[in-house]
Amino acid sequence: MTHPDIKPTNAVSVFGVPFDAYSSFLKGPAKAPLVFFDSLSNGSANSSTELGVDLKKHPHIEFIESITWPEDDQAFAVIENTVSQIVEGGRKPLVIGGDHSITYPVLKGVAAKHDNVTILHFDAHPDLYDEFKGNRYSHACPFARIMESNLASRLVQVGIRTLNAHQREQAQRFNVEVHEMRHWQGPEQLDIKEPVYISIDIDALDPAFAPGVSHLEPGGMSVRQILDVIHSLDVPIIGADIVELNPTRDINNMTAMVAIKLYKELCGKMLG
């Protein structure tokens, strides 16, 4: 799995997780890694980030093909193990989902090396349900599992526009810093001073920018608003995921290209 020439610091390991078994409403995100990696190499976009990092054949990026598992109930163990090997090797995981349930095993893997993780989480939804439709590992629940397992000391959520009474209670219980979309002013509202893990649910974006998701939630972020936050960060990014791209709902591949744009700017920052 390890690239022989890769330097241990700041190197990024990019891998796909084709998992959507814990999606509550529609399937489709399991198809995202294949579409993502195809679109990444289809020639429609160049390989330079806005901040001037050229990702093409970059010596500190390794691509691991989409990981696999024998049965869905073993997926989380494989995901956790993959991530723990990456971080123990001194590299940073950049995970292409998959539905949002995978962020829980990813953070378990990150915990093999990092304590007191700050998570910056972009989403229309807080994903804090104690259980959803009888499933405690649903894509509506990962941040409840992460916080009650003490896998993060701080959870900062941006883009949120679906809080209900239960999730407000859960946010209070776990001291989640929820930046609701209706109050969003820009990255200066954030106070991130520690190394950070970034989780981007594509439905944080307004459906006008990103229609290829399972849960269309109007009133969301622009691509530029998320890029502004990524570009503004002045702390190391220890890992990241981009989840909930649903190619079966996409139009002209436009949401896949949004995922690639976010990937490029994230990856460039992680290498820096």
Q: Which residues bind Mn ion (CB under 5 A)?
A: 100, 123-125, 127, 201, 203
Strands (E), 19-153: 61-64, 92-97, 118-122
Q: Report how far Cα 206 is from the mean position of its chain's Cα atoms.
A: 17
Strands (E), the chain: 12-17, 61-64, 92-97, 118-122, 154-160, 177-180, 196-201, 237-243
- Find the shortest distance in angstroms from Cβ 15 to Mn ion: 19
- Residue nearer to Mn ion on the CB measure, 67 or 160: 160
Least separation in angstroms between CB 267 and Mn ion: 21
Cα 178 → chain centroid = 17
Q: 20 vs 203, which CB is nearer to Mn ion?
A: 203
Q: Which residue has the tokens 């993060």?
A: 152
CA-CA-CA-CA dihedral for 36, 40, 44, 50, to nearest 10? 110
Cβ closest to Mn ion, residue 123 vs residue 241: 123
Closest separation between CB of residue 58 and Mn ion, Å? 29
> Residue 123 Cβ, how far from Mn ion at the closest point, in Å?
4
The crossing angle, in degrees rounded to 10, of helices 254-271 and 223-232 is 10
Residue nearer to Mn ion on the CB measure, 203 or 206: 203
Nearer to Mn ion, 15 or 122 (CB): 122
